[in-house]
Chains A and B, each alone.
Chain A
Amino acid sequence: MSFFGLRRSPKAGSDRRVLVAFSGRLDPVVLAAALRIARAENAALVPAYLITVPLSQPFDSPLVREVGQALPVLEGIEHEANRAGIEVDARMERGRSLRDGLARLWSEEHFDRIILPANPESRHGFSESDLAWALMNTPTETIVLRPAPAEAA
């Protein structure tokens, strides 16, 4: 937050990148925190919607139904990032599992910080074992965020 509480625009073309990975939907509390972190670090936010490709399907097959679900979610996040003055560079990434999708993503791209929403009670968040795996394997500093209490149920 800058002087007098006015929000500042990020430096155009900032090379710092904050990844927030999720599936299904992104908890608004997690999104708000991710935006705050991106702003504080003058970084671009990279919201990544992870799509799990079932083993019964070729890995490179088009995923029309999943894309149809992911698009409005990513657009909603882009709106919020835009409102907050944060540069945003959304992704739709595939994997055989959430872990596989994450691993592929961070092997392809550099991130200065990774945010993972924890929600073991919901299929939309990372389970305890996913989070433990992520913390063991992450290439950079990783933050695990809890969702809003109502969302966790």
Chain B
Amino acid sequence: MRGRYRILLGAAAGVGKTYRMLEEGRQALDQGVDVVIGYLEPHDRPDTVALAEGLEVVPRRKIEHGGVTLEEMDVEAVVRRVPELALIDELAHTNAPGSQNQKRYEDIEEVLDAGIDVISTVNIQHLESLNDLVFELTGVRVRETVPDRVLDEADEVVLVDLTPDDLRERIQAGKVYPAGRIESALQNFFKADNLSSLRQLALREVAEDVEARRSVVTFDDPLARRAIGDRILVLVEPGPSGQRLLRRAWRSGQRLGADIDALWVHPPGDSLSDRDRTALAALRRLAVTLGVHFLEEEDGDFVAAVKRVAGDRGTTYVFWIAPQERRLELALGRSQLYRLIEALPGIDIRLSADRPRGRQEPQ
């Protein structure tokens, strides 16, 4: 039988994931569970090192690469040891060349397949589907990513949370990075705004995970299903941003177990350019591939059309590209966004930032 998989998710390095993993390992040990450390990244943090003392450590595997000796988790040794619980830090880690698996999360799958329970850790920015968003929020492109299915397939995902101020205090106090890196860390990745955005992402991810697990429960009564299940309405426009929004909504829909409708609203008599007509056809084809219901409404009042369709379809969640509205429209209360919020009480609206055309990113 496959082992149980518990992932400790954090918004950033330093929130205490590894510490929490060791604490849980020690608690299990005290309760008589056979626990080993499969891999630990103590990052030279004295508290972490102290907490690991007394826990059995499976020796690491040494790999020679380019004249350098690298150390990785010895998967075979962990499996041979057959503990009840293995603590394996940093599942997003990329193994040294020559390792059996390219990534540590693949190593962990082998350990789980051997019937061993695993507690592991990961930061939110490593999730593949959030890579783009994390870059947009923080300006930092994360290279080590893991597929979302890793979180989906875990038995439990637990948020290890720390407020941005508390984390910055920990960094300032030298509890996360050595003295020489503190200022640079605080001025760059660990700016309060970045940490706040990452924390929101982590909170949302865990909330969606909880929701997804809850919605696995099946209801025989269609009315009950309608009342409890989510239904997403994606407000699309022909073009690349419409394609991106629909794909993003599909991913959320998968996680929430929600059905998805895509809606294109256009004014009566509006004629499309050849380019838009082609883009619309492509959007329809994408909807078919994704299993999304594509709806088209001819209405001069965009908000009224959305309200009508959302009511008919039992929408609980709306996805939209943030509209670029002029200050005057906002000042006069004619904002489409405000009108939409007012028109859809009780429906969550998720705004997605449109990516500028061919924006160059820092190298």
- Chain A interface residues (CB < 8 Å from chain B): 7, 9-10, 12-13, 15, 44, 51, 60-64, 67-68, 71-72, 74-75, 78-79, 81-94, 108-110
Contact = CB atoms under 8 A, between A and B. Distances in A.
A106 to B, nearest CB: 12
Given A15-B275, A60-B288, A108-B281, A79 B131 contact: yes
**Among A51, A85, A89, A108, which residue has the most Cβ atoms of chain B within 10 A?**
A89
What 7 pairs across the A-B complex have the smallest Cβ distances?
A: A62-B291, A85-B360, A89-B240, A87-B358, A83-B361, A85-B358, A87-B357
Contacts of B214: none
B243 A90 contact: yes
Given A13-B357, A51-B289, A83 B132 contact: no
Interface size class of B (residues with CB under 8 A): 20 to 34
Given A75-B132, A109-B278, A12 B290 contact: no
A12 B357 contact: yes
B357 A10 contact: yes
Contacts of A84: 358, 360
A7 B359 CA distance: 11
Given A67-B250, A108-B281, A10 B275 contact: no
A93 B290 CA distance: 11
Contacts, number: 93
A88 B357 CA distance: 8
Contacts of A10: 357-358
Nearest to A94: B289
A7 B132 CA distance: 22
Given A61-B291, A67-B289, A67-B290, 13 more contacts: A7-B360, A12-B358, A62-B290, A63-B289, A63-B291, A68-B149, A82-B355, A83-B361, A84-B358, A89-B243, A89-B279, A91-B286, A109-B282
Contact of A85 (B275, B281, B359): B359
A108 B360 contact: no
Nearest to B279: A89
Interface in B246-302: 247, 250-251, 254, 275, 278-279, 281-282, 285-286, 288-291
Contact of B278 (A78, A81, A94, A110): A110
21 contacts: A61-B291, A62-B288, A62-B289, A63-B291, A64-B254, A67-B290, A68-B254, A71-B247, A71-B250, A72-B129, A75-B129, A75-B131, A79-B132, A82-B360, A82-B361, A83-B361, A84-B358, A85-B358, A87-B357, A91-B243, A92-B289
A1 to B, nearest CB: 14
B359 A82 contact: yes
Nearest to A80: B361
A81 B356 CA distance: 12
A108 B358 contact: no
Nearest to A10: B358
B333 interface: no
Contacts of B357: 9-10, 12-13, 87
Contacts of B132: 75, 78-79
B213 interface: no
A87 to B, nearest CB: 4
A38 to B, nearest CB: 9
B282 A78 contact: no
A60 to B, nearest CB: 5
B147 interface: yes
A72 B290 contact: no
Nearest to A61: B291
Nearest to A109: B278
A108 B282 contact: yes
Contact of A108 (B141, B149, B250, B285): B285
